[in-house]
Amino acid sequence: MIAAEGGGGTAPSSLVVDPATLTRVATGLGTGAGELDACGSTRPTASGTGQAEPLLLMILAAASEAGARLSYESRVLAAAVEDCNVAVQDTDAVAAASFLVQGLRS
């Protein structure tokens, strides 16, 4: 949330982020990816469906592929959110240290 939206900070380009929220987002994405993986191991078969079997196999393959992509992308997004969380916390720590040092010099 930016300062212009009432999120704090000193300028519209300021970014206020709660590290715990980012951690929850990353955890949720990781959990979702795992649940999608678990669904893929229990998919139904198309055997015994007669003439519809080739079509059902194509549908199942497409659904499995989509689930695998969603799972992968969820893991990638979880890692990106966690990387952002680390970067925000590191930047905050540097800014706080700089403020403390400058405050001691004046």
85 vs 13: CA distance, rounded Å: 18
Query: pLDDT category, 36, cuts 50, 70, 90?
Result: confident
Summary mean pLDDT of the chain: 83
Longest dimension (CA), the chain: 84
pLDDT of residue 5: 53
Which has the higher per-residue pLDDT, 72 or 50?
A: 72
Reported as a single tens digit per residue, the pLDDT across 68-102 is: 999 999 999 999 999 999 999 998 888 888 888 88
pLDDT of residue 24: 96
User: What is the CB neighbour count within 10 angstroms for residue 81?
Assistant: 20
What DSSP element (H or E) covers 19?
A: helix 19-40
pTM metric for this prediction: 0.70
Sequence ranges of the domains in the chain:
3-105
The number of CA neighbours under 13 Å toward the Cβ of 104 is 5
